Amino acid sequence: MAYQLYYWNGIQGRGEFVRLALEEAGAEYVDVTRQEGIGMGTSAMFQFMESGSEAPIPFAPPFLKDGNLLISHVANILFYLGPRLGLAPTDEGLRYPANGLQLTITDFVCEVHDTHHPISTARYYEDQKAEAKARSAAFIGDRIPKYLGYFERILQQNPNGPEHIVGAELSYVDLSLFQVIEGLNYAFPTAMNGYADRYSGLAALHQRVRMRPKIAAYLSSPRRLAFNEDGIFRHYPELDLAG
Ligand SMILES: N[C@@H](CCC(=O)N[C@@H](CS)C(=O)NCC(=O)O)C(=O)O
């Protein structure tokens, strides 16, 4: 049975981390809110979240349905899917460090979101522009170097070599790092200018993932939506300073 991915229609958002894993594995999945028909579309997701029929109901998308199983939170979904899709370290002892890295990506993505919504998710960007500017300056000056520096170090210290962040084979964490770099390049092109000189391992990983046949096919397919200013990674020129 096909996996069912529930996520907001019209954006890559956090759902994209799950899509990349499903696409790389060639897994059968349905992007529920992008479909039309009975039990499909965005209303199906709302109904699902309000129905109370499945416990516990997720707080927020993305969530994945596999048969009767309902799994929320990107890192949790990938922890579940990883071994099933052949995208988790074969050494079970490495699956927890992989999950730890993915949870660090979750934290980072949250900080990316807060660059444009530092005060409240419930308010428009235009109502928190001044705070967003201050937040973005700190994000670019302090947090991008701290997170990317960390991932670069972990890559370089991988006993299996710097091709992958964990283990000897491609994992879902590599795919998520690809998406983080893609997103940062879109949102903060000025801050990211020359990043490959500072984080050469991450830049190489990003290129390798982009060239993988299934990922390349996905990226040029209509399923890969363009980044836009409704998603997590938003490009507002006024927030993008030199790094
Ligand atoms: N920790 C969750 C975060 C989920 C999340 O924040 N989802 C957003 C969309 S990307 C949402 O719909 N949030 C609704 C809200 O916070 O009220 C994950 O990693 O999946």
Nearest CA to ligand 1 atom 5: 60
pLDDT of residue 44: 84
Please choose from 59, 77, 104, 113 the residue to mutate so as to test ligand 1's pocket, defined by most ligand atoms within 8 A of CB: 59
Instruction: For the chain, list the domains and their CATH numbers.
Output: 3-85 (3.40.30.10), 92-239 (1.20.1050.10)
Q: For residue 13, which atom of ligand 1 is closest to its CA?
A: 10
Structural contact between residues 113 and 53, judged by C-beta atoms closer than 8 angstroms:
no
| 185-196: average pLDDT | 98
- pLDDT tens for residues 87-135? 999 999 999 999 999 999 999 999 999 999 999 999 999 999 999 999 9
CA atoms lying within 13 Å on the CB side of residue 184: 32
| 141-170: average pLDDT | 98
Confidence at 38, pLDDT banded by 50, 70, 90: confident
- pLDDT tens for residues 49-82? 887 666 688 999 999 999 989 999 999 999 999 9
CA distance 137 to 158: 31
Cα distances (angstroms) measured from residue 19 to each of 27, 196, 216: 10, 25, 13
Residue 73 alpha carbon to ligand 1 centre in Å: 8
- pLDDT tens for residues 174-190? 999 999 999 999 999 99
More confident: 186 or 46: 186
Residue 177 alpha carbon to ligand 1 centre in Å: 19
What percent of the chain is predicted at pLDDT more than 70? 98
Structural contact between residues 177 and 202, judged by C-beta atoms closer than 8 angstroms:
yes
The answer, yes or no, to whether any atom of ligand 1 lies below 6 A from the CB of 73, is yes
Please choose from 14, 71, 117, 180 the residue to mutate so as to test ligand 1's pocket, defined by most ligand atoms within 8 A of CB: 14
- pLDDT tens for residues 221-234? 999 999 999 999 99
User: Helix, strand, coil % (nearest 5) of the chain?
Assistant: 60, 5, 35
Nearest CA to ligand 1 atom 1: 73
Q: Are strands 63-66 and 3-6 parallel, antiparallel or unpaired?
A: antiparallel
| 193-206: average pLDDT | 98
Confidence at 154, pLDDT banded by 50, 70, 90: very high
Task: Count Cβ atoms below 10 Å from residue 125 Cβ, excluding itself.
Answer: 15
Q: In what order do the strands lie in the sheet with 69-72?
A: 29-31, 3-6, 63-66, 69-72
CB-based burial label for 46 (10 Å; 0-12, 13-18, 19+): exposed
- With vertex at residue 30, the alpha carbon angle to CA 24 and CA 35, rounded to the nearest 5 degrees, is 130
CA distance 115 to 199: 22
The answer, yes or no, to whether any atom of ligand 1 lies below 6 A from the CB of 82, is no
pLDDT of residue 52: 61
Confidence at 219, pLDDT banded by 50, 70, 90: very high
Structural contact between residues 189 and 154, judged by C-beta atoms closer than 8 angstroms:
no
- pLDDT tens for residues 22-33? 999 999 999 999
